[in-house]
Structure 1
Amino acid sequence: MTPDTRPDPDKLLALVGNDGGDSARRRGRLKIFFGANAGVGKTYAMLSEARRLHSDGHDVLIGVVEHHGRAETQALIEGLPIMPRREVVHRHVHLSEFDLDAALSRKPALILMDEYAHTNAPGSRHPKRWQDVEELLDNGIDVCTTLNVQHLESLNDVVARLTGVWVKETVPDAAFDAADEIALIDIPPDELLKRLSEGKVYVTDGAHTRAADNFFRKANLGRLREIALRRAAERVDAQNDALSAAMGQSEAATGDKILVLVGPDPLSALLIRHTKRMADRSRAPWYALYLQTDRHETLSDNARRRVETHLRLAERLGARVVRLNAGRAASSILTYARQNGFTRLVLGHTTQPWWRSLWGGQSLSQKLIAQGAGLEIITLNADTPTEAKDTGSRFRLTTSPRDYLIATAITGVATALGVPFRAVIDPDSFIMLYITGVVVTAARYGIGPSLFASVLSVCAFNWFFVQPYYSFTFDNVSYALTFAVMLTTSLIVGSLTARLSLHARLARRSEAETRLLYDVSRALSSVSTPEAIGQVAQRQLQPAFDADIALWHDGVQITGEPIGDPRELGAMQWVAQNRQIAGRDSDTLPTAQGLYLPLALEGTRLGVLSLTPKDRTRQFSGAEHLVFETVASLIGGALQRARQTQIAETSRVESENEKLRNVLLASLSHDLKTPLTVMNGAVGTLLKMRKKLPREAVDELTALWNHLTRLQKFVSNLLRMAALTSGQLKLNFEPYLIQEVAGAALARIDAQKGQRRLQTQTIGTVPMVRIDGALIEQVLINLLENAIAHTADDGLISLTFETDADRVRVRISDNGPGLKPGEEDRIFEKFYTYGQQTSDRQTESTGLGLAICKAIVEAHGGLIYAKNNPSGGASFIFTLPVDYR
């Protein structure tokens, strides 16, 4: 196997899943029982598997299962635990919904959630049931659910074209593709029609005949069955491709990259779904582009909302959304496509009005085809069922009536300025007054009032400045051409001025967003505390968005007015826990007053930013969401920087304290070592003459000698600890058998073990290790003395050697009282003593032995840790690298 073909371990681990590891962090597994349509037996199959798992001892809970009065389904439900639903009152109607919070509190191993595409009642945390399932999975709960093929988002228009029925409840393909297992439930159309005739297929009340005649036609059922089988096969192909890529055996990439153009018209939804299916077949990345030209400002509110809806649809289906500010649509699209390596361009095609054809005008699709050399351009006509008929106006000519009144007033002012001079100045000169008025109107109030002012100016000029005055007749026929030229000039100048003013407003808006991000970034770079960061966020964002700003850091609100509404606090806490956006104009908790954005960086939870508009009817646009997310990332980075600064400062102080402590310890140890040696020698000399001394004096000298010995050992430990922590100790690495080193240690502590039993065990073949034998012997001595000190006189101490991959593991176990909760990490700290010694030895712990063990083992590149034994007592384990030389 060459490095080029070596499997990617990260990809393989991702494919294997996350069954292992900490259950608290494990993501649950999703199994979807997938069918072509209702009645194929998805719920029956799901309940059958649930009963099997329940009989095997698994914790299975029914969250939502709809039996619709079918006896065989009810029989499968009996005996399985069912979670009560919560009651929701909406417009005086009582509804029962899945209780998400109760399920998270109960936290079963597996929960059944029928009808994956179900729409929740208003006021629920999530609008859709599939979003409830996502939260269950994020909290480590396995889920089984059911889904029909017509509820897949990318196939929505295909099913509508086939059956003539638009399915409103859909599930993003990304959620379907992310499922751990898909169980395809399939029966022939004839059998399904038989089940329908027997009343075993649920249809809405009063719709049985219509369903049988329309949706449940045999041709439709066969086609839906084919679509379901094909979609399941595509998912299997995608999984095989992912496995092949992880194994380094993937086929050559097609090199395709697809760009779909999105707009406000309903055809965009069909384009997005078509492109999704095309990308899946080609296994190519795809992007959704919205060109934000001056046309965007002239769209109606409904059209703008449709644009945001289409972009969110593209995101749900897996596209990367791009918003591009540009002037000329065709050239901007082609430039972006070529610069970013797109090979296919998908867009809608509409028939040009006859009057544009007369003037040689081309549609966007025609311009792209004419200029898009080297690109594969795919156009779709709106010949399929659509969800809406309104496409929005191209220009918003009807603005506020006040704007037209002001346009009338401006025309009146131009007239009033010219009337006093009409007897002395040529009438044609007054045309410039009116054109000036049209320019002012266009610049301030847009194209609609400017067109109105153009027509009104021609009428006023004829009425006041062309003889005979105060009539719409004229003596000179040439004035007809003058009026036509004046009207044309006014219209052209007005429209160009309005367009230029619109571009200027767009530029100012873009500049304002850039200036805001720059000011926020610069202000955040000069502060280093969470409180100061919160003040910056409030000071910069509140006036920019006319919204109340609040910031939470580590669960504490550090800026903004305190929020007392439990629903708002619940939204904030949900965002902090799940690190996903929620609140108004989002898919989660959309009824909340504020928009809540998570502040997270590199998987670290930092806080939550909320924006609550002062105008409660205001809706945040998709462009504003992008700005909010950018600002949130800047604030998150600042909070992370503040946290790292605080940690670095704390580490620096601790490091300085540690250095000072080591210097003091080394100095103190050196100063004590010589006098202690002299005193110990003098006491030893006196003890040699014990026969000449009274017994009381001998006892006192013996006690003094013991204390001096302990003090000498303590000073030696201090010196060794100072040498280890300062890095001055040089290790003498040599190959050793760990059993030989352990034998020397056992010989040295043999006199201390008393009546305690000490046994050794070697599991398997233990290879040699490259170590400093004297230091590892000291580690073993310290651990054995620790075990002796915490074991009764008749206790048992075991010493075990085994191999774990490329390391040798040594375990010293005792049957003493064990460790208290939380002591597993602290016992290796300097001067920390634990437990209660059961030994009758005269020595007392100084809290340095285990700290020295930790320092020596880590200097050898090993690990050391402690834990309680299931049968009582404690085990101290350390590992050493195997010597492969």
Structure 2
Amino acid sequence: MPEITRPDPDKLLALIRTDEGEPASGKRRGRLKIFFGASAGVGKTFAMLTEARRLHNEGRNVIIGVAEHHGRAETLALIDGLPTLPLREIDHRGVRVHEFDLDAALTQHPDLILVDEYAHTNAPGSRHPKRWQDIEELLDHGIDVYTTLNVQHLESLNDMVARLTGVWVKETVPDAAFDAADEIALIDLSPDELLKRLHDGKVYVAEGANHRAAENFFKKSNLGRLRELALRRTTERVDAQNDALSAAQGHDEAPTGDKILVLVGPDALSSRLIRHTKRMADRTRAPWSALYLHTDRHETLSPKARLRVEHNLRLTEKLGGRVVRLNAARAATAILSHARQNGFTRLVLGHSHQPWWRRLLGATSLSQKLIERGAGLEITTLNADSETAENPRDDTSGWEVWAARPRDHLMATAIVAACTAVGLPFRNLTDPDTLIMLYLIGVVITAARFSIGPAVLASVMSVAAFNWFFIKPYYTFTFDDVSYAVTFVVMLITSLIVGSLTAQLSRHARLARKGEAETRLLYDLSRQLSAVRGVDTMAEVVVRHLQPAFDAHIRLWAGERQIAGAPLIDAKETGAKEIGVLHWVMQNHHIAGRHTDTLPSASGLYLPVMAENIPLGVLSITPRADDRQFTGADLLVFETVASLIAGAFQRARQAELAETSRVESENERLRNVLLASLSHDLKTPLTVMNGSVSSLLKMRKKLPREAVEELTSLWSHLTRLQKFVTNLLRMAAITSGQMHLNLEPYLIQEIAGAAIARVEPQKGARQIRTTVSGQLPMVQIDGALIEQVLINLIENAIAHTGDDGVITITLETDADRVRVRISDDGEGLIPGDEARIFDKFHSGKPAADRDGSGTGLGLAICKGIVEAHGGMIYAKNNPPKDDAPTGASFIFTLPVAK
């Protein structure tokens, strides 16, 4: 197959795993099926329950989490007989509210759960603000979910539905969650049939409001438009899936090559721009981003306007866009530079009418500047209109900044008064025009210290004060020389320009200092963390460094243990809520708490500390001021700090592991040296002693009976000790890598026969059976060593089998390997010992049953010898019969001779 058209196997595997409910990472994720419709009453819940009942009858574990039946008989009939999860009661301001019980669903862990109304808003006090977030957690835990959704609840279509129907829907679902669903079932119904159902009372609306609903929302024209939107949105999803499959087969993922950038700000039009861009990106399957310019104007925004900025940026993330924050002084230049450097082909921005005074001065708007300079870019502008203000809020104006604080205006007045006081002694000694510089200095000081509003006030007061105190006739606003009129105008214009520029420079300086402070904070934290060792010490450094910088309580946990910061139980935010957020973050490894989508009513913000997808701890930040708002920029800083901490913890963890490994390696080397030395020192005297006892036993006819018994017992103990020393020497050779193999072709049947003959005196009444499966090839082995392996395994089976037991040796082929299995019918292995059974000095018997006859080296030697041959050895219990143990099997493989 030509390389250019060959499908990408990784992408195809990812698609297959996604279709099977398993992500590319290998961890199974539940499957989500959404029953999607144009409006209430089309039969989404009915269709969901019908399919759930069919699966329940087929034997699947199906539970109803939430099913809104609204008293309809046909829906109640489908619910009857299906297991139903009780709803959880929440006390909200004295009212008992019933909500979906997420924890109970996770505890029961069914195969499939039905959770109606995907866009539902949970009652305050719930873990997540929205039901779709509850469903995400169910999916993360491997539970399949069925749910329902109307088209007007999709976030990207929210403003379009409002313009079509005149109804602004408050409960929305991010398009990213909708697009991530594994299956969308479109439940379609014609407007005429839906209106008939409404007339028959089969559509749920507020009691007594059927006619009003039909006249307003349920108009035939509205229903037709909603149906068109639902069909179009479903078609776009099918197209996106086809594009993904085409991309996996080697075709371009985005044939259009588009990349869209939308400009957002604090105005109400921005939310409409974001949704418009999302729809545009869906149609062209193009990536898109939202850009917010952090200029000096940001410092002049009112608190409500700043909150609106954060709302718009979070809306971008909900719709699947990427947020970009950019510090810049010149907006048009910065926007075009960023767009061209990052390959954007389209710009989407809002356009509003310029005030008459700006048009009079010839000022151009940002959209006009971008159109004039944006050669090569496709620029789309949307005009602001009355429909934009879906949520009436205070308009973003600079009045707060111009008005500033009363104290700032008093200080501006005081500065002008001080300039006047300094100039009065020189009134008759110098030309009045010279004293103008005093007032310019005062305006500069006011603009640098305060905002533009006090600077303008100082400019006007300076002109008035100069006329009153320094132009004859004194203490009046009249003047003799007409040329002073020009002087006053020039002085006012100059002071306004100087004041404005100084105020802008002051704001830029504050922004630069803020950025420098953040960089210095991260640099100092990184440097201090690199200078200490140990997780606990690093945690203390983090708390000591961050608490004054963030003006917040900082706490760190490693696992379940708090390692730094004030104890949570002694703090003002004590309660099950904070501990619940902490445990949730530990289990799910996602940010939660204050100003997030998970338990947002918590006092603190909790961030997972993770490195290389390994959870290392949790960082919590609880502001000392209860009314402090965390912005998106703050969250970026917090996440950067958490990543620095994670890197430091990972370094400390790796250092501890390296030190432990070094100590273990040194201990192992010392133990091997000791074993080898001890074995060599014991081997010769044991051989001599064994030979002497053997010689005495040959003369047993001349010795008393008691002496012969003592010598026989001594010979048995010496033989066992000699075998133990031999095992020690062999183990030392294996672990030191000094064991040399004399590889030659052998028939494994011959090796097995020799091993059985060697253990014949030990088997007693036990039976040893040999089974050969097929014709076995020769194996490339060291015959003496493999014989020792078989002897050790057979002796192990004898030790764990009753006197009348049966030991079976099975020889069979497996591709280019020969497999040897030694099975017994004893009590089997202790559960969990299957891997540890091959450790040195480990006995498979419980401590109370050990008789001291075993050294725990036989199986370790078997493992070393088999692995030195390139084989594999393992142990497992045999399948039980009638709930009774049937012994264990030890299996090893050997390579076939070439």
Give the TM-score, by structure 1 length. 0.93
Residue 679 of structure 2 is aligned to residue 677 of structure 1: no
Match of 2:591 in 1: 581
Match of 1:8 in 2: 9
- In structure 1, distance between residues paired with 2:62 and 2:698: 79
More deviation, 760-769/230-239 = 760-769
Match of 1:728 in 2: 738
Mark the CA change 1:469 to 1:143 in structure 2 (over 3 Å): closer, same or farther.
same
More deviation, 441-450/527-536 = 527-536
Match of 1:844 in 2: 853
Mark the CA change 1:544 to 1:734 in structure 2 (over 3 Å): closer, same or farther.
farther
Following superposition, the deviation at residue 203 of structure 1 comes to 1.8
Match for 2:545 among 529, 540, 543?
A: 540
- In structure 1, distance between residues paired with 2:406 and 2:444: 19
Match of 2:729 in 1: 719
- In structure 1, distance between residues paired with 2:813 and 2:408: 86
- In structure 1, distance between residues paired with 2:558 and 2:849: 50
Match for 1:387 among 387, 390, 394?
A: 390
Residue 568 of structure 2 is aligned to residue 567 of structure 1: no
Look up the equivalent residue of 1:518 and give its one-letter code: Y
Look up the equivalent residue of 1:704 and give its one-letter code: L
Mark the CA change 1:457 to 1:645 in structure 2 (over 3 Å): closer, same or farther.
same
Match of 1:700 in 2: 710
Match of 1:324 in 2: 326
Matches within 5 A, 1:282-293: 282-293=284-295
More deviation, 231-240/37-46 = 231-240
Match of 2:353 in 1: 351
Following superposition, the deviation at residue 764 of structure 1 comes to 8.6
Matches within 5 A, 1:553-632: 553-564=558-569, 565=574, 566-632=576-642
- In structure 1, distance between residues paired with 2:175 and 2:774: 51
Following superposition, the deviation at residue 732 of structure 1 comes to 4.8
Question: How far does the alpha carbon of each residue in 1:236-263 deviate from its partner, in whole angstroms, 9 at most, with x for none?
Answer: 3333443444455666754332222221
Native 8 Å contact 2:268 2:388 kept in 1: no
Question: How far does the alpha carbon of each residue in 1:379-411 deviate from its partner, in whole angstroms, 9 at most, with x for none?
Answer: 222355442354512572121111111111111
Match for 2:646 among 617, 636, 639?
A: 636
- In structure 1, distance between residues paired with 2:183 and 2:348: 32
Look up the equivalent residue of 1:450 and give its one-letter code: A
Native 8 Å contact 1:579 1:598 kept in 2: yes
Native 8 Å contact 2:348 2:381 kept in 1: yes
Match of 1:296 in 2: 298
Mark the CA change 1:691 to 1:600 in structure 2 (over 3 Å): closer, same or farther.
same
Following superposition, the deviation at residue 750 of structure 1 comes to 4.9
Q: Which runs of 5+ in 1 are unaligned?
A: none
Native 8 Å contact 1:397 1:448 kept in 2: yes
Look up the equivalent residue of 1:387 and give its one-letter code: E
Match of 1:99 in 2: 101
Partner SS state of residue 827, structure 1: helix
- In structure 1, distance between residues paired with 2:163 and 2:128: 29
Partner SS state of residue 617, structure 2: strand
Following superposition, the deviation at residue 169 of structure 1 comes to 1.1
- In structure 2, distance between residues paired with 1:2 and 1:878: 45
- In structure 1, distance between residues paired with 2:780 and 2:14: 32
Question: How far does the alpha carbon of each residue in 1:521-573 deviate from its partner, in whole angstroms, 9 at most, with x for none?
Answer: 00000111122111111111111111111111121111111112222122111
Following superposition, the deviation at residue 43 of structure 1 comes to 1.1
Following superposition, the deviation at residue 810 of structure 1 comes to 4.7
Following superposition, the deviation at residue 232 of structure 1 comes to 2.5
Native 8 Å contact 1:411 1:434 kept in 2: yes
Native 8 Å contact 1:789 1:838 kept in 2: no
- In structure 2, distance between residues paired with 1:358 and 1:689: 132
- In structure 2, distance between residues paired with 1:798 and 1:71: 67
Partner SS state of residue 568, structure 2: coil
More deviation, 9-18/613-622 = 9-18
- In structure 2, distance between residues paired with 1:236 and 1:736: 63
- In structure 2, distance between residues paired with 1:377 and 1:602: 41
Question: How far does the alpha carbon of each residue in 1:439-462 deviate from its partner, in whole angstroms, 9 at most, with x for none?
Answer: 111111110111111122222222
Native 8 Å contact 1:62 1:81 kept in 2: yes
Following superposition, the deviation at residue 161 of structure 1 comes to 2.6
Native 8 Å contact 1:59 1:110 kept in 2: yes
Match of 1:854 in 2: 863
- In structure 2, distance between residues paired with 1:695 and 1:803: 53
- In structure 2, distance between residues paired with 1:439 and 1:252: 54
Identity of aligned residues (%): 69
Native 8 Å contact 1:116 1:130 kept in 2: yes
Native 8 Å contact 1:791 1:837 kept in 2: no
Native 8 Å contact 1:830 1:847 kept in 2: yes
More deviation, 830-839/653-662 = 830-839
Following superposition, the deviation at residue 690 of structure 1 comes to 4.0
Native 8 Å contact 2:22 2:29 kept in 1: no
Mark the CA change 1:2 to 1:538 in structure 2 (over 3 Å): closer, same or farther.
same
Partner SS state of residue 361, structure 1: coil
Look up the equivalent residue of 1:388 and give its one-letter code: N
Native 8 Å contact 2:871 2:895 kept in 1: no
More deviation, 783-792/464-473 = 464-473
Matches within 5 A, 1:376-415: 376-383=378-385, 385-389=388-392, 390-394=394-398, 396-415=401-420
Match of 1:866 in 2: 875
Match of 1:470 in 2: 475
Mark the CA change 1:147 to 1:19 in structure 2 (over 3 Å): closer, same or farther.
closer
Match for 2:447 among 442, 446, 471?
A: 442
Question: How far does the alpha carbon of each residue in 1:728-768 deviate from its partner, in whole angstroms, 9 at most, with x for none?
Answer: 22345567776665555445445544443445567799887
Residue 248 of structure 2 is aligned to residue 239 of structure 1: no
- In structure 1, distance between residues paired with 2:151 and 2:65: 22
Q: Which runs of 5+ in 2 are unaligned?
A: none
Mark the CA change 1:76 to 1:793 in structure 2 (over 3 Å): closer, same or farther.
same
Look up the equivalent residue of 2:200 and give its one-letter code: E
Following superposition, the deviation at residue 208 of structure 1 comes to 2.8
Look up the equivalent residue of 1:851 and give its one-letter code: A
Following superposition, the deviation at residue 826 of structure 1 comes to 2.5
Q: How many residues align?
A: 884
- In structure 2, distance between residues paired with 1:720 and 1:692: 39
- In structure 1, distance between residues paired with 2:631 and 2:101: 31
Following superposition, the deviation at residue 843 of structure 1 comes to 9.2
Look up the equivalent residue of 1:520 and give its one-letter code: L
Mark the CA change 1:607 to 1:817 in structure 2 (over 3 Å): closer, same or farther.
same
Question: How far does the alpha carbon of each residue in 1:73-95 deviate from its partner, in whole angstroms, 9 at most, with x for none?
Answer: 11111122222222222233321
Mark the CA change 1:674 to 1:754 in structure 2 (over 3 Å): closer, same or farther.
same
Mark the CA change 1:657 to 1:473 in structure 2 (over 3 Å): closer, same or farther.
same
Residue 131 of structure 2 is aligned to residue 129 of structure 1: yes
- In structure 2, distance between residues paired with 1:825 and 1:452: 83
Question: How far does the alpha carbon of each residue in 1:53-112 deviate from its partner, in whole angstroms, 9 at most, with x for none?
Answer: 323333322221111111111111112222222222223332111222222233333222
Native 8 Å contact 1:31 1:183 kept in 2: yes
Mark the CA change 1:785 to 1:247 in structure 2 (over 3 Å): closer, same or farther.
farther
Look up the equivalent residue of 1:610 and give its one-letter code: S
- In structure 2, distance between residues paired with 1:808 and 1:858: 14
Mark the CA change 1:332 to 1:798 in structure 2 (over 3 Å): closer, same or farther.
farther
Mark the CA change 1:500 to 1:847 in structure 2 (over 3 Å): closer, same or farther.
same
Match of 1:119 in 2: 121
Partner SS state of residue 708, structure 1: helix
Match of 1:494 in 2: 499
Mark the CA change 1:843 to 1:457 in structure 2 (over 3 Å): closer, same or farther.
closer
Partner SS state of residue 834, structure 2: helix
- In structure 1, distance between residues paired with 2:340 and 2:11: 33
- In structure 2, distance between residues paired with 1:191 and 1:768: 79
RMSD: 3.0
Look up the equivalent residue of 1:296 and give its one-letter code: H
Matches within 5 A, 1:298-313: 298-313=300-315
Match of 2:432 in 1: 427
- In structure 2, distance between residues paired with 1:148 and 1:456: 62
Partner SS state of residue 684, structure 1: helix
Match for 1:142 among 141, 144, 148?
A: 144
